[in-house]
Structure 1
């Protein structure tokens, strides 16, 4: 039966930003969408961090422009697990469970943000959400006036986490820092190629 609730469900989207990429790709077929020139803050906690296998995407310029800005920790707790056949770090969208997650803050342009959406299979596997991050270290040598921590030392950042996971993942160890090359005794990531 058709209801107002189901009609609104078609119009109202969940609080993530990846659904827009489907609209943007349609626009590109009919002509290049104008770039907003806006830079976006992104918090990464897994294979995109320094020293990890996919970090080069964040800084080499081949997928868009990205710049390291500092280190941070999520203000909310989340379960960070390593799962799947490739030992991928998954941040489960279950706030208040697990640990505050350590990671890095980057300033990225729209092109790199679009690549990250594709790389993270957003919105089908991961969803891009805005979260508050406590800034632990801030590299502001090239700081733009509109990109700086708030007075309380926090910053709103995009973060990729998932609401889709296997039930038994909740029984896996929860980590606060992803680094399979360190002394965390974490399963080794199996590299996959970006599309």
Structure 2
């Protein structure tokens, strides 16, 4: 099992969350919530209003998201879904635990709040240069005040 940190449309309550919990793609178990230890720019870009975490550590905000453990089948699905390695690249990033819900056989295996763990994150180095001038967010919500409605894949031209 691998740990994956999601910050965009795959989070609970967001447009692609069903893809995370659809058992046909493999197993994804919600473990808790966290945020990036380093600051990153989280932008909403392109004509489909897709959230992108630009791989520029040290710039932006501590980005909030959710921590999942996933099996190899789900990891492969997420790689394909995220257009890895062309659109996004899967890289290990340090995540600070804010809340932990995951079940462990032993209590001492549960990470403490504010502890740091490494998770895979889908961020991008292959972005348009002008994206660095877009507003940076610390928490993505497809229906947020930004007014940039995410366009589902099924609805794209």
TM surpasses 0.5: yes
Based on CA coordinates, which of the two structures has the bigger radius of gyration? 1
Aligned residue among 43, 62, 69 for 2:5 = 43
Structure 2 residues without counterparts, runs of 5 or longer? none
Q: Partners of 1:151 and 1:52 in 2: how far apart?
A: 24
SS at match of 1:113: helix
Structure 1 residue ranges (4+ consecutive) displaced by more than 2 angstroms after TM superposition:
142-152
Higher relative contact order (CA 8 A, sep 6+): 2
8 Å contact kept, 2:97–2:113: no
Q: Partners of 1:61 and 1:81 in 2: how far apart?
A: 30
Match of 1:153 in 2: 115
Match of 2:85 in 1: 123
CA RMSD of aligned residues (A): 1.8
TM-score (norm 2): 0.91
Change (3 A) 1:176 1:124: same
Q: Partners of 2:114 and 2:98 in 1: how far apart?
A: 12
Q: Partners of 2:17 and 2:29 in 1: how far apart?
A: 11
Q: Partners of 1:163 and 1:171 in 2: how far apart?
A: 15
Give the total of aligned pairs.
Answer: 153
1:67-121 superposed Cα distances (whole Å, 9 cap, x missing partner) = 1111000001000000011100010000000001000000110000000000000
Q: What is the correspondence of 1:94-173 to structure 2 with a 5 Å cutoff?
A: 94-140=56-102, 142-143=103-104, 148-149=110-111, 153-173=115-135
Structure 1 residues without counterparts, runs of 5 or longer? 1-38
Q: Partners of 2:113 and 2:62 in 1: how far apart?
A: 20
1:155-182 superposed Cα distances (whole Å, 9 cap, x missing partner) = 1100000001111111110000000224
TM-score (norm 1): 0.74
Offset of 1:154 from its aligned partner? 1.2
